[in-house]
Structure 1
């Protein structure tokens, strides 16, 4: 079989099949009054899906175009800056092009840019609450940044009309798991071509490209002009720039490189060891070297070897958890959350000043997110020094605008520093100096981690007690104040991690001796077990 024959065999579509599929789209659209929602990410599959639907529906007469097609794009607020601008431009062109279609509705295609709630964004959780960077056993980002915004929009449409049809660019050829999932729900179809959504009732899924190959998608995009005016050649170039060898060949064998293997997503994504797409973009295009600081920052905070020492030995709610004779570490310590904030603001300023003109006002982190982070630090973590405005002003060189802020008049940075010095006197006692953990850290010269011993013990306890009492002073009903103060003490009951580990071990040993259920894995030595230690158990978000 020669190469030409192999290329042809990898393409399963032709003009007749495409025309037939367009007719299917038109018939399905006219079959009922159920509104359509099309997912658009800006990638090749969603572009091909939307292009197919657009080309099909614009051929219908005006009296048949009686229901709106909603185009939704989920902006995670940490998208690759280049892709974000690409999608933004594309959506604007869709709005203009849709106005040219004569319909019975105001506009046949209506675009929607969906974003997560500000208190659930990546930076609010990572810098604000101190969530560890996402990984296989703690993938907290996808649901908050992508799924929740889409589900909210879909539920609102279902509440209005009772049912919707979600049009997606999913293909069985994308992966074995995707093919298996699509086949499973294909068997449960309530109507021809429409599959149920496993997570939302009254939502039906239509996947017009379900049987297309990767090459089918590119052939369609290259041979049919984009109806809203965006160049599909530009899209292909974008994919080419995200592959190491800048090639975007037709797939003739499974092991050949393909544009389909380029992945565009969140620039902060740590679910993969390396962001090969961004690395390739920077390497292949001198005009994109301004993104290098983002890649370096992502690699820095996503360093799993150093991550554990950056985090508290307690979980977010203050309890202890462990395995293999070690505690599972929880949220990032105060100094590291402040460090991440300083770095992301610095990167933003660098992009504004040194990046392309179109990024002069670009925000890596929004002012609304910063306000959320400020409230989490001060009100939830009791860090009444209120360090965020100071960090912002030092890096950005301008005042931090937060007109609705109402802080404490009694306690601020001066009182925090005084409290810190007082706690230092206590922590510099013989017990602290001679603790095994402190000695080991001193020998390694780990000053930052040595400092964290103070942040996570007496200072945290005292600042919490003072803040809780201060906020309760103006309340008429103080019946819960004792319980709240007791919780603060229990959260900070331990002198340091060494003391907490000893306490946790003794607690488990008592349960074991009494015949009660206990965490058996804590007593297993990781070297004996032959496993790699992972300090975040499955589903342990806090």
Structure 2
């Protein structure tokens, strides 16, 4: 008596054609239930594979075209150069197909560089100040969706590049249906409510049609299939190369912001620099050390004593470290601009694409905010610098005098 095995069993691996067929089934099952589609695109490997796959399925008639399709590109202004440059090329290719593309960016004063160097907010960290992802990516995307929904009737199906990968499916750490909103196994992770989207409940459903794809299938699609004329002639090879292509490991195939303050190691940038075409970007190695340097006490202000809150209580950390000094901001601005100049000077010599860490509008706004003596809320600018020696004040108001007293 033989036992039929599932494609999700540990002993059997999904083949490329099977992965594509499951994606087709996913789109056929849920696409027609929504008149309007949106594709959330970050420019990374999974979302780009999803975007180009859906467009190919539409072009070949394998799935039915919706009334409207909008691609929302999350431009954080911090992406690795190969991804940002490829995204620009792919956006041109989308527009050539008459597909609407909306570039989603944070408002000027909330962009990463402006927020740090102009407003003086310290670089994010993993402990107490992880502000970046929501501010430069999630909040702008939610606002773009709100505006899109204002222009249509009914709901919108947001197609995402969420992908669990082979090991998670094999080990059943996630069931691809889980009975979630009636989805069937193998049909992607369909949800009728967009998670954590404030004020958007009931009008957005999400679908991850590449949830089941193995990472090697993503590389195969981006590097060999999608660039071919029969599959869309997309500019995706550089994206696969940015991750290390076929040599990249599932868990290490991650990219983030250039010089990400939250990452322990700069794996993504180092992978890019190993490619001779992108070696001219080596000055970017100087960004992460700059963010670490800006966290040092001499570059920041701190509260001098027992800060009282509106309810009369004393703040939990009465001598907490705070924003960057104007001198630190100007120093950092000069360093970033110097890194940008060094990369672009080499790019011009080699005939390679230039990069933009801080554009003219952002630089002007940073200098304007400094000239206006802008401080984050709750700070006046007359606080001492973080390296100032002073008596310790505890949350209960107790004071620990200096051991040897103040120097005269």
Residue 288 of structure 2: SS of its match in structure 1? helix
Give 1:139-538 correspondences, 5 Å limit. Answer: 139-161=130-152, 162-173=154-165, 187-189=179-181, 194-195=190-191, 196-200=193-197, 201=201, 202-221=203-222, 224-226=225-227, 227-230=231-234, 232-240=236-244, 248-249=246-247, 258=249, 261-282=252-273, 284-303=274-293, 307-314=296-303, 327-356=319-348, 357-359=351-353, 362-381=355-374, 492=382, 501-502=391-392, 504-505=393-394, 508-509=397-398
CA apart distance, 1:216: 3.7
Unaligned runs of 5+ in 1: 1-7, 99-106, 241-246, 250-256, 383-486, 511-521, 524-542
CA apart distance, 1:111: 1.9
- What is the TM-score with the length of structure 2 in the denominator? 0.76
- 2:42 aligned residue: 41
30, 33, 40: which one pairs with 2:32?
A: 30
Q: Distance in 2 between matches of 1:40 and 1:188?
A: 23
2:132 corresponds to 1:130? no
Q: Distance in 2 between matches of 1:287 and 1:222?
A: 16
Residue 78 of structure 1: SS of its match in structure 2? coil
- What is the TM-score with the length of structure 1 in the denominator? 0.59
CA apart distance, 1:148: 1.5
Q: Distance in 1 between matches of 2:395 and 2:28?
A: 69
Which structure has the larger Rg over C-alpha atoms? 1
Q: Distance in 1 between matches of 2:74 and 2:291?
A: 24
* CA distance 1:23–1:280, change in 2 (3 Å): closer
CA apart distance, 1:294: 1.6
The structure carrying a bigger helix percent of its residues is 1
Give the count of matched residue pairs. 365
CA apart distance, 1:188: 4.5
CA apart distance, 1:222: 5.8
* CA distance 1:210–1:342, change in 2 (3 Å): same
Which digits, 9 at most, give the CA deviation of each residue in 1:340-360, with x for residues without a partner?
011122222223322244545
The structure, 1 or 2, with the larger RCO (C-alpha pairs under 8 Å, 6+ apart) is 2
* CA distance 1:155–1:346, change in 2 (3 Å): same
* CA distance 1:184–1:141, change in 2 (3 Å): farther
Which digits, 9 at most, give the CA deviation of each residue in 1:499-532, with x for residues without a partner?
7644x3496229xxxxxxxxxxx99xxxxxxxxx
Which digits, 9 at most, give the CA deviation of each residue in 1:54-91, with x for residues without a partner?
232223399x6351221121111122223211211121
Q: Distance in 2 between matches of 1:496 and 1:347?
A: 27
CA apart distance, 1:121: 0.6
The structure carrying a bigger strand percent of its residues is 2
* CA distance 1:294–1:191, change in 2 (3 Å): same
Q: Distance in 1 between matches of 2:280 and 2:136?
A: 25
8 Å CA contact 1:23–1:56 kept in 2: the answer is: no
- 1:87 aligned residue: 87
Residue 125 of structure 2: SS of its match in structure 1? coil
* CA distance 1:328–1:233, change in 2 (3 Å): same
Q: Distance in 2 between matches of 1:217 and 1:18?
A: 11
